[in-house]
A and B are shown apart, each in its own frame.
Chain A
Amino acid sequence: MSFFRRRELYVAITFITGLLTIFDYFISFDALNNTAAALRNWVVLIAYFAIVLGLVNTFVFHGRRVFRKGQQWVYSAWLLFVVVSITLIGIFSGTNHPIYSFLFTNVYGALGPSGYGIMAFFIASAAFRALRARSFEALILLTAVVFTLLYRAPVGGIMPFIPQIGDWIQSVPSAGGMRGIIIGMAIGAIGMGLRTLLGYERGYLPE
């Protein structure tokens, strides 16, 4: 059994699957492409198994809170009630059940737009506190924000020069800065890839 405990074994698995996926993109060869496709399909299935792991984690965490009457245990109890009842409804009556679809539209569907919406207020307060010209760089940030806002505001369309300045900021300085970030990001991911495949990376598979 100690063989299965060795870190090298798992690094090797990562190395092989990773390299296979990369070669699949560059080389057209049936056996390789089919294996890679099958492997990707498997991983999707494994990920579905993992989701149930999330359910278990939820039960353990909130169950313990309720059991020990810990912080917010009443809310935890309510959460567990929702999880259990909705899971059962979903599995046995399908997602078209009125209660399921009711919660789907009005809670699940409404929270996203509300969440995006609440940010408008956060942004407003950030505009006051975070956009201060403490340095030259911060001044550039502030200027870009102000002109982009004017450019994007419907009313900006009738102000003189704003559309031209806005266009220029979008297509020249912003494009230049973004490009460097994207190039760096690509190289970063490529480098991270090699470290992961060779087992240097420490985010997973600790000793």
Chain B
Amino acid sequence: MVVMLILMIIPAVNPLGIPIPISDYTREVYNYIENLPSGSIIVVANNVDVALWPEEETFAKALFWHLGEGPHKFVIVNFGADSPLLISGALTDINFEISFPNKKYGDDYVLMGFLAGGETAMASFATNPQGVFEQDFYGTPIEQLSIMKELKGASDIDLIVHITGSDADSPVRQWVETFHIPYAAAPTIGWVPTYMPYYNAGQLVGLIAGVQGGAEYELLIGRPGSGLAINDALSLAFLFTILLAILGNIDHLISRLKGG
């Protein structure tokens, strides 16, 4: 266990940079955002709870960096109770306001609060994005946020990027099949299998698979960071686990040979 701990600490202190290939579905999300006409409105939807956040944090930060550098506007909406706090933490962590002084809060981007109700809330947001909120996360009345005035209905949303810790059913049913909004999913690795059939059917713009996808995204935007370190540590830890399984079996074999 000590070895395990050390293997996990090494990359944290000094990333090894084990090469990782960039999957097509990660690249597709990146390209889609790059190719949107300037001034497009991207909705970043969120429902991750605090315990699963470490898996999504990497991608969230990389995405905000990418959006900060790009010419688009974005609205952050939360469908999980923990998400607004997590997102505002991520924005603070990358120093969004200082790093991107030309992005004005309220005009170019905005953070809305938590919308309760799961799938129903997703549907009502797509029907009438302005109507479901009275104020943003920080308590500013919605009338003072010019970006929200542009967002009248589903057709004003050019892309939804969904950072999520749950399955594909409700977002696909609502946003993709009912409202036909371009949709990119960023689920935690555990939920990736539920999104795969929809991706294969061409219903998704792209897919970011947990922390691995996040690290690939970091590479795409040219800012390798914590995601890569996590991936290094993951690779080491996995190989070590396999080694342990092999050692366990050798031990088993020896004791059987001795005993038998």
Contacts and interface: CB of A to CB of B under 8 A. Distances in A.
Interface of A: 109, 112-113, 116, 120-121, 123-125, 127-129, 131-134, 142, 145-146, 149-150, 152-158, 170
Contacts of A145: 245
Q: Which of A116, A133, A154 has the largest count of B CB atoms less than 10 A from its CB? A: A154
B248 A128 contact: yes
17 contacts: A112-B51, A113-B50, A113-B51, A121-B4, A121-B5, A123-B241, A127-B244, A128-B245, A133-B252, A149-B241, A150-B238, A153-B235, A154-B18, A155-B235, A155-B238, A155-B239, A158-B20
Contacts of B234: 153-154
Nearest to B4: A124
Contacts, number: 81
Contact of A134 (B51, B231, B252): B252
B54 interface: yes
A60 B257 CA distance: 56
A127 B51 contact: no
A104 to B, nearest CB: 10
Nearest to B54: A113
Interface residues of B, number: 34
Given A109-B50, A170-B193, A154 B231 contact: yes
Nearest to B22: A157
Nearest to B7: A124
B100 interface: no
B239 A116 contact: no
Nearest to B49: A112
A133 B246 CA distance: 10
Interface string B213-246: 0010000000000000001101101111110110
Nearest to B85: A105
A170 B193 CA distance: 9
Contacts of B54: 113
Nearest to B189: A152
B140 to A, nearest CB: 18
A128 B212 CA distance: 26
